[in-house]
Amino acid sequence: MINGPPALVEMLDRNKKHVETYKAPPHLMDVAPKIRDSGNGVMILTCSDPRVNVFEIFGLDSVLRAAVIRNAGGRAADALRSVAILQHIARPGAIVVMHHTDCGGTHIEPGDVKKDLVELSPSDKTTIENTQFGKKMNSIKESVREDIALLKTSPLVDHSTQLDEFKQGEGSNFTFPLDAFWLWRFHVRSELFSYSEHSALNLSRQLVSFLLYSTLTIKPKLPYFANFGAIHINELKAVFYSIAMFDDIVAEGYSLAQHDWRLTALVASVVPFALTYIITSLLAFLAANNKSHSRSPPIAPYAVPFFGNLFAFLFDNERFVRNALGRYARDIPVQFRLANRKLTLISGTSNVLAMFRSSRYLDANEIIIIAVDNAFGGASVGRECYALDNTGSRKEPLPGSRPLKMSDRIWYLQHKTTHANLVGPPLVEIAERFVKCLGEELDHAIPPSQTDWVDVPDFYGLIQSTMFAASTNAIYGPHLIRLNPDLNKDFWEYDHHIPSLFKLVPRLFAPKAYAVRDRLVASVKKWHAHAAEHVDVKDPALEGVAWEEYYGSKMMRDRVVDYIGVANMTDDLRACLDVGLIWAANANIVPTVGWCLIDILTRPALAATARAEISTLSPGEINMQALLASPILQSIYAEELRLRNAIFIQRTPIIDTFKMGPWKFPKGDLIIVSSWQEARNRETWNQRGRDGEEHDVEEFWAERFLVYKDDPLSGPRLVDAAKVKKGGEEVEKVADGEASPPKFAPEKVAGQFIPYGGSENICPGRFYAKQEAMAGMALFLAKFEIELQLEPGRVLEPNKAQFGFGVMGPKGAIKARMRRRKVE
Ligand code: HEM
């Protein structure tokens, strides 16, 4: 039995047990040459502090070994002799210098040690005074660096040895980021070289630590790299470390793959995606922070080579676009790679306005061709008529476009005809007919004789069918629906399938979409044939006739005349093009009116205001001009267009050198703007009401578009209150006592509020659409009392399956009960 501290007794006890199972390791002189030759030996220089458990920290065991040199503080000056001897024996490839927090060396002054010694042995004072104890360690980082420098310069140390710094932190954590990297790096290296078990876990851990490292260290520093002139050494280091980490991941993956075929498969399938994502992320950060005067937009990072962002975009483009815009500053365009196509999303008022102003260099036909090809079915029945026309929609053909005869310039002719016939007297004709037809449709749905409540299982469905019938009769005359009694039902089924058709889902996977599209085309073709039997569109007697029953509006006759001259035009293709017009004329305005009514009816105070406004402005017959001037009705309509419209406005540069600000946009690559995102930009939209209440951009607020003279902060645009105070914002003056009627002011949000697109391609139907909205609200509210019967807790939401294709209707049927109003 040995006397001594209990710990020593315990140690000896444990040693006894150890001896029982102990197997002698290979002889030093046998192992040493192998270690020398491989260069894989590792030497760890660390503190004697028992809290630093080197074996545990690095997982050292009988397989993974390292030579450990310990002294107070783990200082190189004391260790040189041991380093030299161990180097002589095994010539290790690396020396790790590991200091730790809360080290005795950071608390104790060497002078105090000397005092202590002198007290113990006063006779040796001189020797003690002349002995070197170094100086107190200030920071561990500094002490590690000092010792590395010493080892590097010492003649006793082989200069080809890799020297690595490493700091052990509190509670065995490791300081981040530099040291975590080293920890990680050691882990990989030692495992690789000691042939320990390779596991998928290790690989995942390395990937995670790499991603963490690059996110925390590289990302904030990237602005430096973008300005190549200002590269800072630490940033450079960070990139090298990342590359080294990456290299280790590849090496680890490779080793794993050799050990297990399942892992081979796993690694082979994961690595290309991880690699692609990492590389595209780095490139995107560099591009976003580039400061040159002529630069390309960053490409949104993606993981799938070749397909790029295609699947994310097709799967949930709302989220995808939101994320893409959230990634960078608002005014930085973001490019998406959709298989072999590139498109660039631009955002922010100044970019959007710049795009509209640059219409001379931009063409909108590409999307129209895509629509005609797929959504309207043109590709199979006469593509050569329209796909070759790249002359644009202006009278002057686009520079460099094909030399087509004027009569073959289908897009210009179509553009001219719709724009000319949806303003002025032709518009008055259509709008008046619409009002009349809608009144009749509503009277047919719930006749004036019906005084009791009527249950309506699908209130929005009623709006769809009555509005569609009214508008179709107004524009195309009564025979289109008369000849095709299912047209109304077919149209809404077709509208439901529009996303599949636009997204090119093959017929095999969307048979209903194609079937209903083809039915619509056949219906329109039948109507064309019937009209042609009764009317000669070139009959001079029709000159100046705004409407006749067979073709309906003059716009439809003019289209027939336009198409007659187009080479190779077919009856099928004409029908497809008219299906397109029917879609454009209904798909947006009908859901907009639906939302106007729903949001009015679910707010009793607003319903009372709207009804009062309608009965004052338009008592009895519809007074369109008065309704069109109503600030509150216009504001409600505009708010719905802001809130429910998700359309991508698209343009293609027609010149090689097209730029907006510093950003370059290659010829032929699509540029898109998301009306949805622009309408939700909290930096530019006003969310504060006159009452001080907040009206979030995601919420309906009937008065958002109203400006009050006496409230400079009112109106749709966010105004800087401080600037108003200083007089920096333009404010309309109000005379004392002057009443302050609100003004509808959409112009305040030009470039932010773009439901109809812009420039010369702006929607030609916008004036008619507004009249439909006024008449829709007025007739429904004047004729009926309407009670929506929403299930408790139900929040009405737009049907996001239609996201990207215009105004989205409400999701799910809405039950209601309706009865005729006594005073209409
Ligand atoms: C709320 C209602 C409507 C909305 C939100 C809307 C929106 C749009 C948008 C965003 C465009 C593309 C503009 C651009 O590229 O800059 C467009 C084009 C078009 N819209 Fe509308 N629209 C509506 C109603 C109508 C109506 C009622 C008609 C017809 C009667 C119509 C006919 C067209 C046509 C023919 C085009 C293509 C114009 C061309 O290529 O020149 N739209 N619409």
The closest alpha carbon to 333, from 681, 672, 759, 678, belongs to 672
**Under DSSP, is residue 193 helix (H, G, I), strand (E, B) or coil?**
helix
Instruction: Give the separation between CA 757 and CA 236, rounded to whole angstroms.
Output: 45
Measured in whole angstroms, the distance separating CA 717 from the mean position of its chain's CA atoms is 24
Q: Nearest Cα to 164, choosing from 92, 268, 261, 91?
A: 92
Question: Closest ligand 1 atom to the C-alpha of 581?
Answer: 35
Measured torsion, CA atoms of residues 63, 68, 74, 78, in degrees rounded to the nearest 10: -160
Span 492-545, pLDDT tens digits:
999 999 999 998 899 999 999 999 999 999 999 999 999 999 999 999 999 889
Per-residue pLDDT at 440:
97
Helical H segments across 290-388, by residue range? 310-315, 317-327, 349-357, 365-370, 383-386
Q: Please work out whether the CB of residue 765 comes within 6 Å of at least one atom of ligand 1.
A: yes
Q: Is the CB of 500 under 6 A from ligand 1?
A: no
pLDDT above 90 (res 235): no
Structure tokens at 360: 């001379």
Of all residues in the chain, what percent are helix, strand and coil, respectively (each to 5)?
A: 55, 10, 35
770 CB within 6 A, ligand 1: no
In testing the pocket of ligand 1, which one of 495, 763, 767, 768 has its CB within 8 Å of the most ligand atoms? 763
How far does the centroid of ligand 1 lie from the alpha carbon of residue 402, in Å? 26
**The pLDDT of residue 691:** 83
Contacts of 457 (CB under 8 A, 6+ apart): 813, 815
Answer whether 742 contacts ligand 1 (Cβ < 6 A). Answer: no
313 falls in which pLDDT band (50, 70, 90)? confident
pLDDT averaged over every residue in the chain: 86
Rounded distance from Cα 367 to ligand 1 centre (Å) = 13
Angle at 385 (CA atoms; ends 379, 388), nearest 5 degrees:
90
Structure token digits, residue 336: 């998406």
Share of the chain above pLDDT 70, in %: 86
Q: Nearest Cα to 806, choosing from 676, 635, 681, 634? A: 676
Q: Which atom of ligand 1 is nearest to the CA of 368?
A: 40
Cα 770 to averaged position of ligand 1 atoms, centre (Å): 12
| pLDDT beyond 50 at 174 | no
pLDDT at 504 (0 to 100): 86
pLDDT band at 228 (very low <50, low <70, confident <90, very high): very low
Over pLDDT 90: what percentage of the chain?
53
- The predicted-structure confidence for 344-353, as pLDDT tens digits, reads as follows 999 999 999 9
Using alpha carbons only, give the angle 487, 491, 497 rounded to the nearest 5 degrees. 145
Specify whether the CB–CB gap between 568 and 382 falls below 8 A.
yes
- With a 6 Å cutoff on the Cβ, whether 764 touches ligand 1 is yes
Q: How far is the CA of 763 from the centre of ligand 1 (A)?
A: 4
Check if 471 has its Cβ closer than 6 Å to any atom of ligand 1.
no
For residue 645, the ligand 1 atom closest to its alpha carbon is 5
What is the mean predicted confidence (pLDDT) over 620-629?
Answer: 94
| Phi and psi torsions of 324, nearest 5° | -60, -40
Neighbours of 467 (CB within 10 A): 28
Burial class (CB in 10 A: 0-12, 13-18, 19+), 704: buried
Weakest-pLDDT range from 24-38, 555-569, 586-600, 755-769: 24-38
Gap from CA of 764 to ligand 1 centroid (Å): 6
Residue 419 alpha carbon, nearest atom of ligand 1: 41
- What pLDDT score does 738 carry? 59
Asked if the model's pLDDT at residue 225 lies above 80, the reply is no
Burial 676-688 (b: 16+ CB within 10 A, else e): bbbbbbeebbbee
Centroid of ligand 1 to alpha carbon of 756 (angstroms): 6
Nearest CA owner, ligand 1 atom 3? 588
Number of the ligand 1 atom closest to the C-alpha atom of 411: 40
> Helices 459-476 and 589-601: crossing angle, nearest 10°?
140
Do strands 805-807 and 645-653 pair parallel, antiparallel, or not at all (unpaired)? antiparallel
In angstroms, what is the span from residue 766 Cα to ligand 1's centroid?
7
* Average pLDDT, integer, range 436-446: 97
Residue type, 32: A
Residue closest via CA to ligand 1's atom 20 equals: 763
Dihedral over alpha carbons 768, 774, 776, 778 (to 10 degrees): -150
Nearest CA residue ID for atom 37, ligand 1: 763
Gap from CA of 584 to ligand 1 centroid (Å): 6
Q: From the CB of 649, is ligand 1 less than 6 Å away?
A: yes
Q: Whose CA is nearest to atom 19 of ligand 1?
A: 763
pLDDT of 175 > 60? The answer is no
- pLDDT-derived band at 716 (thresholds 50, 70, 90) equals very high
> Which of 372, 410, 756 to mutate to test ligand 1, by most ligand atoms within 8 A of the CB atom?
756
**Residue nearest ligand 1's atom 6 by CA:** 756
**Mean pLDDT value of segment 301-324:** 87
Tell me the sheet residues that pair with 94: 42, 162
Distance (angstroms) between ligand 1 centre and the Cα of 586 equals 10
Question: Which has the minimum average pLDDT: 327-331, 536-540, 562-566, 756-760?
Answer: 327-331
Give 594's contacts (C-beta < 8 A, 6+ positions apart). 460, 463, 464, 809, 810
Q: Where residue 197 falls among pLDDT bands split at 50, 70, 90?
A: very low
| pLDDT at position 3 over 70 | yes
Q: Indicate which residue's Cα is closest to atom 27 of ligand 1.
A: 585
Residue 230: the pLDDT is 39
pLDDT of 823 reads 58
- Is 763 near ligand 1, meaning CB less than 6 Å away? yes
Provide the pLDDT for residue 194.
32
pLDDT value at 170 more than 50: no
Binding site membership of 592 for ligand 1 (Cβ less than 6 Å): yes
Q: For 140-161, what is each residue's pLDDT tens digit? A: 777 888 888 888 888 888 887 7
Tell me, what DSSP letter sits at residue 24? Answer: P
Report which of residues 170 and 650 the model is more confident about: 650
For residues 545-572, average pLDDT: 95
Q: Is the CB of 807 under 6 A from ligand 1?
A: yes
Q: Is 644 in the pocket of ligand 1 (CB under 6 A)?
A: no
Q: Which of 146-160, 343-357, 383-397, 459-473 ranks highest by mean pLDDT?
A: 459-473
pLDDT band at 238 (very low <50, low <70, confident <90, very high): low
Q: Which residues of 318-327 are buried (b: 16+ CB within 10 A; e: fewer)?
A: eebbeebbee
Nearest CA to ligand 1 atom 9: 756
Q: Which 3 state secondary structure label does DSSP give 817? A: strand
Q: How far does the centroid of ligand 1 lie from the alpha carbon of residue 585, in Å? A: 7
Q: Which helix (H) or strand (E) holds 141?
A: helix 140-153
Respond yes or no on whether the N-terminal peptide bond of residue 741 is cis (omega within 30° of 0). no
3-state SS track over 441-503: HHHHHCCCCCCCCEEECCHHHHHHHHHHHHHHHHHHCCHHHHHCCCHHHHHHHHHHHHHHHHC
Quick one: DSSP state of residue 99? E
Q: Which of 131-145, 373-387, 439-453 has the lowest mean pLDDT?
A: 131-145
User: pLDDT category, 697, cuts 50, 70, 90?
Assistant: very high
Whether 520 contacts 578, CB under 8 Å: no
Angle, alpha carbons 442-448-453 (nearest 5°): 85
CA 445–ligand 1 middle distance (angstroms): 29
Provide the CATH number for the domain formed by 366-679+753-820 in this structure: 1.10.630.10
Angle among Cα 55, 56, 62 to the nearest 5 degrees reads 50
- Whether pLDDT at 229 is above 50: no
Q: 365 in ligand 1 pocket by Cβ < 6 Å?
A: no
pLDDT at 219 over 80: no
**CA 632/CA 677 separation, integer angstroms:** 24
Q: Is 576 a pocket residue for ligand 1 (Cβ < 6 Å)?
A: no
- The side-by-side arrangement of strands in the sheet containing 454-456 is 454-456, 816-820, 784-788
Residue 276: exposed, middle, or buried by beta-carbon count in 10 A (0-12, 13-18, 19+)? Answer: middle
* pLDDT-derived band at 312, boundaries 50, 70, 90: confident
Ligand 1 centroid from CA 769, angstroms: 9
The per-residue pLDDT for 784 is 96
Closest ligand 1 atom number to CA of residue 675? 10
Note the pLDDT of residue 746: 96
Cα 603 to ligand 1 centre (Å): 30
Which residue type does 134 have?
Answer: G
Structure tokens at 30: 């046998």
pLDDT of residue 726: 67
The residues with which 71 forms a beta bridge, in sequence order, are 47
pLDDT at 285 over 70: yes
Q: How far apart are CA 41 and CA 90, in angstroms?
A: 7
Structure tokens given for 552: 């309906």
Distance between CA atoms of 691 and 693, rounded to whole angstroms? 5
With H, G, I as helix, E, B as strand and everything else as coil, classify residue 306.
coil
Predicted confidence at residue 523, as pLDDT, reads: 98
pLDDT 10s digits, 763-819: 999 999 999 999 999 999 999 999 999 999 899 999 999 999 999 999 999 999 999
Which contacts of 562-569 are long-range, i.e. CB under 8 A and separated by 24 or more positions? 562/410, 562/413, 562/414, 562/417, 563/410, 564/537, 565/407, 565/408, 566/385, 566/407, 566/408, 566/410, 566/413, 567/385, 567/407, 567/408, 568/382, 568/384, 568/385, 569/382, 569/385
Check pLDDT > 70 for residue 579. Answer: yes
For residues 248 and 741, the model is more confident at 741
According to CATH, the topology of domain 25-174 is Beta-carbonic Anhydrase; Chain A (3.40.1050)
**Tokens 């939700």, residue?**
680
How high is the pLDDT of residue 347? 94
Question: Which residue puts its alpha carbon closest to atom 41 of ligand 1?
Answer: 415
Centre of ligand 1 to C-alpha 783, Å, is 29
Atom of ligand 1 nearest to the CA of 758: 16
Determine the average pLDDT of the residues in 599-619.
95
Cα distance between residue 284 and residue 294, in whole Å:
16
CB of 589 shorter than 6 A to ligand 1? yes
Q: Is the CB of 415 under 6 A from ligand 1?
A: yes
Q: For residue 806, which atom of ligand 1 is closest to its CA?
A: 5
The single residue listed with the structure tokens 């004729």 is: 783
Q: Is the pLDDT of residue 465 over 90?
A: yes
